[in-house]
């Protein structure tokens, strides 16, 4: 039974989906203090949150069984993603589920800001009629600068054009072709600052975007600019914004997010040319139900079938593609596990080569699977697709991958090469048919073995009588042979023998096998 903790308020429909899933038990426990969350998190396989729960390194240190964190919403700045990744925990969000709602809120802030609607409303409630004081501006014909043209920024740009605004955008990841489809003129930040009458921000909070809108940015903006931020607190330098408001550089600002939430009655919040809302960007009935349904379905898919969708720290794989990739992933893990047991002392580099069908598409996921198998035997902690690349990097292991359309003798093939303190070693595997993994090469010697279960890998010389001596020794100890496969460099020369056995071979039997004539070494492996 998999256990799921929902620690923030989640739409009832999302809870229903989780509780209806077979093999999943759900606890809803909102408002937990950090120390309380640390106490209980160890008993759960999944955690579902919104923006309230802070998943810190201290929480993750106690999350011994946690496999996945699902954020009902887009931003994951309340999760220590690097620490989760290191611990092999998938972090998912729900992009798109609240994009329309957040974009509409940004537009509402823009309209409220340039027409002084909140201030005029408060004045009326005080019994005043200050028509001249609250004269505003039209949006028609104004230039809107959109920083970040992802899901939300693109919607804002589209709606703004419906208001007959000119839209200039900045997004280093957006192509000119996509910008043309959106009807947006791409610009660098300096050009956007120089031209925009109103600027709206729609980027995630990252190290490179923290305080992105600061003193230098304000200095480059037009006098009397309006600024809107419904993205993440910390992107706008709040002290610099207050200075720009006081100087008149910024005519007005509208903020839905703050560096600290709730911010309290700060001078910025109290400023009469600042419109504030308490992080309402995604707060509509429709959006909250949409993200709740989405995160619940993603959690169920992952816990029941291992399907990863909308993860921020591992490649997401749709169900149909995961099904197609399953034999490739199994082969990659098996090669990694086998090499780990054959020897990786002083591991320096790992090289992955993919050809044929295995070179088509998601080789990064295959590389992660090979590293998972390679490290799981020796690292001594949970290793999976999420954290295997991180663990390799932390250990100073250089990882590279290459691809080739030509599949050599196979339609789908991969090679795993390692450089260790004892030299260079390699394995190769292929998929027979569409789903049958095979070990097809050991250190350059061709072979055809099934990489599963208990294996004995012999380095030996190709001499008469070897097969009989191995079979006799194993038979005397009641160890049944499933398969025995051979490969050699040349007749009578160096050779490799792979034996599939039904049970683990005891150490004393291994010693006896090592003492057989023409046997150089024997390694027992379990895949």
Residue 261 designated active-site:
yes
Alpha helices in 343-452 (DSSP H): 363-376, 388-394
Question: Does a cis peptide bond (omega within 30 degrees of 0) precede residue 515?
Answer: no
Catalytically annotated residue among 67, 202, 232, 309: 232
Residue (of 443, 416, 400, 390) closest to 331 by Cα position: 416
Q: Give the Cα separation of 174 and 270 in Å (integer).
A: 37
Catalytically annotated residue among 62, 115, 273, 279: 279
Residue 271 designated active-site:
no
DSSP per position, 234-262? TSB-HHHHHHHHHHTSEEEEEES--SSSS
Residue 232 designated active-site:
yes
Spatial neighbors of 128 by CB under 8 A, at least 6 apart, are none
Identify the sign of the CA torsion 123, 129, 135, 140.
Answer: positive
Cβ(390)–Cβ(85) below 8 Å: yes
Alpha helices in 221-318 (DSSP H): 238-247, 267-270, 285-305
Residue (of 279, 297, 212) closest to 16 by Cα position: 297
The residues pairing with 147 across neighbouring beta strands, listed in sequence order, are: 170, 201
Q: Give the Cα separation of 333 and 263 in Å (integer).
A: 49
Q: Give the Cα separation of 257 and 281 in Å (integer).
A: 9
Q: Is 248 left (phi over 0), alpha (psi -120 to 50) or beta?
A: left
DSSP per position, 375-396? HHTTS-S---TTTHHHHHHHTT
């903020």: which residue's tokens? 255
CA angle centred on 340, ends 337 and 345, rounded to 5°? 170
DSSP 359: G
DSSP 213: B
Catalytically annotated residue among 181, 216, 260, 261: 261
425-456 b/e with 16+ CB inside 10 Å = b? bbbbbbbeeeeebbbbbbbeeebebbbeebbb
The end-to-end CA distance of the chain, in Å, is 26
Radius of gyration of the CA atoms of the chain, in A: 30
CA dihedral 455, 458, 462, 467 (to 10 degrees): -50
Cβ(253)–Cβ(228) below 8 Å: yes
Q: Give the Cα separation of 184 and 154 in Å (integer).
A: 9
Residues acting as catalytic residues: 232, 261, 279
């Amino acid at each position: 039974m998999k256990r799921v903790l929902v620690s923030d308020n989640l739409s009832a429909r999302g809870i229903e989906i989780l509780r209806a899933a077979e093999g999943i038990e759900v606890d809803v426990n909102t408002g937990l203090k950090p120390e309380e969350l640390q106490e209980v998190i160890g008993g759960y396989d999944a955690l579902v949150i919104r923006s309230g729960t802070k998943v810190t390194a201290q929480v993750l240190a106690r999350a011994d069984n946690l496999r996945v964190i699902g954020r009902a919403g887009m931003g994951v700045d309340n999760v220590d993603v690097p620490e989760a990744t290191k611990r092999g925990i998938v972090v998912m969000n729900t992009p798109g589920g609240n994009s329309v709602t957040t974009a509409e809120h940004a537009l509402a802030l823009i309209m409220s800001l340039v027409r002084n609607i909140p201030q005029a409303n408060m004045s009326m409630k005080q019994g005043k009629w200050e028509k001249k004081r609250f004269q505003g501006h039209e949006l028609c014909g104004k230039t809107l600068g959109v920083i970040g043209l992802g899901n939300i920024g693109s919607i804002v740009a589209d709606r703004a054009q419906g208001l007959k605004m000119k839209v200039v955008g900045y997004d280093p990841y957006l192509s000119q072709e996509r910008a043309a489809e959106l009807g947006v003129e791409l610009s660098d930040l300096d050009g956007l600052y120089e031209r925009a009458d109103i600027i709206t921000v729609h980027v995630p909070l990252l190290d490179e975007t923290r305080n992105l809108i600061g003193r230098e940015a304000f200095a480059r903006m037009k006098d009397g600019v309006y600024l809107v931020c419904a993205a993440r607190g910390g992107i706008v330098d709040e002290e610099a914004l207050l200075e720009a408001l006081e100087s008149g550089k910024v005519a007005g600002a509208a903020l839905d997010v703050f560096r600290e939430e709730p911010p309290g009655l700060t001078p910025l919040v109290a400023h009469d040319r600042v419109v504030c809302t308490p992080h309402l960007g995604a707060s509509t009935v429709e959006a909250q139900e949409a993200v709740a349904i989405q995160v619940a379905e993603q959690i169920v898919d992952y816990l029941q079938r291992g399907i990863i969708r909308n993860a921020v720290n591992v490649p997401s794989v749709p169900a149909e593609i995961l099904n197609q990739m399953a034999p490739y992933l199994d082969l990659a893990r098996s090669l990694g596990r086998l090499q780990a047991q054959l020897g990786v002392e002083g591991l320096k580099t790992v090289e992955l080569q993919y050809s044929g069908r295995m070179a088509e598409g998601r080789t990064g996921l295959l590389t992660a699977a090979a590293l998972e198998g390679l490290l799981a035997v020796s690292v001594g902690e949970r290793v999976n697709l999420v954290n295997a690349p991180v663990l390799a990097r932390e250990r100073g292991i250089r990882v590279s991958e290459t691809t080739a359309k030509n599949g050599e003798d196979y339609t789908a093939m991969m090679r795993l090469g390692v450089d260790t303190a004892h030299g260079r070693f390699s394995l190769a595997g292929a998929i027979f048919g569409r789903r049958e993994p095979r070990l097809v090469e050991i250190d350059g010697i061709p072979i055809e073995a099934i990489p599963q279960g208990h294996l004995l890998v012999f380095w030996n010389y190709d001499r008469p009588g070897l097969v009989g001596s191995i079979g006799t020794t194993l038979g005397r100890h009641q160890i049944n042979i499933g398969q025995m496969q051979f490969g050699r460099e040349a007749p009578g020369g160096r050779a490799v023998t792979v034996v599939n056995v039904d049970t683990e071979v005891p150490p004393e039997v291994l010693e006896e096998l090592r003492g057989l004539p023409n046997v150089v070494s024997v390694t027992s492996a379990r895949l």
